[in-house]
Chain A
Amino acid sequence: MSTVSPVLRNRSARIALTVVVAIALIAAPLLLPAFANQTLVRIGVYAVAVLGLNIVMGYTGQVNLGQIFFVGLGAYVTAYGVNHGWNIIVVFVAACAIAGIVGLLVALAAARLGGLAIAMVTIALPIVGVPLAKRLSEFTGGSQGISARFSDAPDWSGLYSDQWQFYIVLLVTAAAFLLARSLVQGKYGRAFGVVRENEAVAASMGVSPYRTKVLAFTIASILGGASGFLYLAAVQYTSPETLSFGHSISLLAAMVIGGAGSIAGSLIGGAYYVFVPQLTNAIDPSFTTLSQGAILLVVLFLLPEGLVSLPRVIRRLGRRRTARPTSGNPPQTAPAHHPVPEAAREGLENTERQDRP
């Protein structure tokens, strides 16, 4: 957030902007057509899942290929609770807590190995999850799935269901994003960053890489569970297809394309997850997977910090073109992550030679 224009550094301007955004979000469902509301609702659902993935992957550097499993788990817990007449607050807490506990158990084992092992273990979650969901048909409704209606607008509100769902999703999504923002800005966020950069340094500073990874993974799972709750609020139905491997890959692609290690990027990731398949499906459904892979690779090549860094990159390019003196530079962000293209292109021998004094 340090790169926003100087206007926003002003405290009162910032508060004013927050109020305007809040009013706009509260007013939006009353003014927009139902289809737009439903789309925004789905963006909120997946933004929370991407946010969780961002905590463990973007901020802590642990590749997680199984985030969709926790979304599915949260959705199933929600469906079960609703159909058994639990209070909706209890349902929400259970969806988050059960996903969190399962995530904790997985992380306790997986984080014992090096970073890439977490990726190798988590890829199994959706692949084991789908047959498991089919098998446990008492709870999940088997292959047909299970529906649960709890998000229809109550009569006293005078709202349509899409508007009511919008407010449910807005409430949870806003809370999740605000909590995640304070988390990554605080001491845990710094611990995540150190573990991502160098585990040995983290350990020497008294930050346990193991515990930090487990914590990040558990938080990601809890957010996955919350996203599952929202999914059921929006769709009112879930099936084993919800937690398929392909969807897990799409979540990861959305996170990277939105911007790894960025709270705002998670929101963009949620929007990507909803919009781009809609777009490619409209053109030709068979191109959906291909275009997703192509977009992901292009972003990794050209914009490694994701779409959220696009304004910054454009500004930097613009500055270079006008060749202004670099005196009044705003803080240059994160050159550390950029691979040096020349070094990479010329291969190993040359870079080694350049490194010599």
Chain B
Amino acid sequence: MGMGTFIQLVVDGLSTGAIYAALALAIVLVNQATGLINFAQGGLAVLSSYIAYVFVRLGLPLILAIIVAVVLSFFIGALVERFLVRRFERGDPDTAVVVTVGLLTLVTGLCAVLWGYNNLGFPSLFPLTSVEILGAVVSVRSLATTVTIVVIMVVLQLLFLRTKLGLALRAVADNPASAAFSGLPVGRLLMVGWGLAATLGAIAGVLVAPQLTLTPGMLDTALVYALAAVILGGLSSPIGCVVAASAIGVLENLVAVYVPFIGHDLKIAVPFVLIFVILVLRPQGLFGRKVVVRV
């Protein structure tokens, strides 16, 4: 195994890392807005991918089907916030987490009833060819997936830092009470936050669906990776999550090939062994700061 394999593994790892990063960012987005962890983020993304699949089957061009599904996902996310999660937002956070687990079960069950448990093929947005970079054969799909997610992250960052909507969203995340006093429609902004998170998840879903093929549990594993990235990067640090997700994607790929004992079946243990070691050595997380709570 030469340098070529190594580069290929890194590029492939970056593209799966980008998928984890998109899910992790969606989780952080929801957490910033509503203070809870949405365990249904992956499940909602699977639903979005199935919606895109339906429109493809109806004869829409792939890119159009994806856009329709992504837009619909925004509304699904917003409605879930309004009619399901809102009631539990200010209560016990553990109950709210159980609500999202219930939502995950509901959505997974819904997909299973509507489309069954059999794997469905999903067309790829990008050509399945490969190009040669520095003597390594690299798949176009991996490169394009990474680039797409990076572009979306930049757009999201601009939205948050350069627009009035972004300012309002940040205000609500920072202090909902003050935001309400200054006349911001807090409820509607929370819906927008959930909608954006669902959109991000939907994009991750349709990008990874051709590779994984559609099943109701398609993103269960990806969700676990995304959560690992969130733990390593810190809930308060979107950049930290992206870095952690990319690192996990690359590391698991390398370990799967270069450490035969672990191999492809056990590579999911890699981020958690890492978390275990880090928590023992550095309890506040890699990028997070030690939180001091005033009673």
Q: Give residues in A with beta carbon < 8 Å to B.
A: 57, 61-63, 65, 108-110, 112-117, 119-121, 123-124, 127-128, 131-132, 134-135, 200-201, 204, 245-246, 249, 252-253, 256, 286-294, 296-297, 300-301, 304, 337, 339, 341, 343-345, 347-349, 351-352
Contacts and interface: CB of A to CB of B under 8 A. Distances in A.
Residue of B94, B99, B107 with most chain A CB atoms under a 10 A cut-off? B94
Contacts of B291: 114
B102 A296 contact: yes
Contacts of A61: 92, 94
B228 interface: yes
B227 A344 contact: no
Contacts of B135: none
Q: How large is the interface on B (under 10, 10 to 19, 20 to 34, 35 or more residues)?
A: 35 or more
A62 B94 CA distance: 7
Contacts of B97: 63, 116, 119
B224 A123 contact: yes
B94 to A, nearest CB: 5
Given A115-B94, A287-B113, A337-B92, 12 more contacts: A57-B94, A61-B94, A108-B280, A109-B276, A117-B231, A131-B266, A246-B217, A253-B101, A256-B98, A290-B109, A297-B106, A344-B90
Residue of B84, B216, B224, B266 with most chain A CB atoms under a 10 A cut-off? B224
B295 interface: yes
B180 A348 contact: yes
A293 B101 CA distance: 8
A124 B272 contact: yes
A110 B279 contact: yes
B186 A135 contact: no
Interface in B179-238: 180-181, 186-187, 216-217, 220-221, 223-224, 227-228, 230-231
B101 to A, nearest CB: 6
Contact of B279 (A113, A123, A287): A113
B39 interface: yes
A127 B266 CA distance: 10
A124 B105 contact: no
B91 to A, nearest CB: 5
Interface of B: 36-37, 39, 84, 86-95, 97-99, 101-110, 112-113, 116, 176-177, 180-181, 186-187, 216-217, 220-221, 223-224, 227-228, 230-231, 265-266, 268-269, 272, 275-276, 279-280, 283, 285, 291, 293, 295
Contacts of B101: 65, 249, 252-253, 296
Given A296-B105, A344-B90, A352 B180 contact: yes
Given A290-B109, A293-B103, A352-B181, A128 B268 contact: yes
B37 A286 contact: no
Contacts, number: 159
Nearest to A350: B180
Contacts of A252: 98, 101
Contacts of A113: 231, 279, 283, 285
Contacts of B102: 253, 293, 296-297, 300
A288 B266 contact: no
A292 B105 contact: yes
Given A61-B94, A293-B107, A128 B231 contact: no
A65 B186 CA distance: 31
20 contacts: A65-B39, A113-B283, A115-B94, A116-B36, A116-B97, A124-B224, A128-B269, A134-B265, A201-B295, A245-B217, A286-B116, A290-B109, A290-B112, A292-B105, A296-B106, A339-B88, A339-B91, A344-B88, A345-B87, A348-B180
Contacts of A292: 105, 109
A165 to B, nearest CB: 30
A348 B186 contact: yes
A305 to B, nearest CB: 11
Residue of A65, A128, A135, A293 with most chain B CB atoms under a 10 A cut-off? A293
B54 to A, nearest CB: 18
Contact of A245 (B93, B187, B220, B269): B220
A289 B177 contact: no
Given A296-B105, A348-B180, A200 B37 contact: no
Given A113-B285, A347-B186, A127 B268 contact: yes
Contacts of A201: 295
B293 A131 contact: no
A198 B285 CA distance: 23
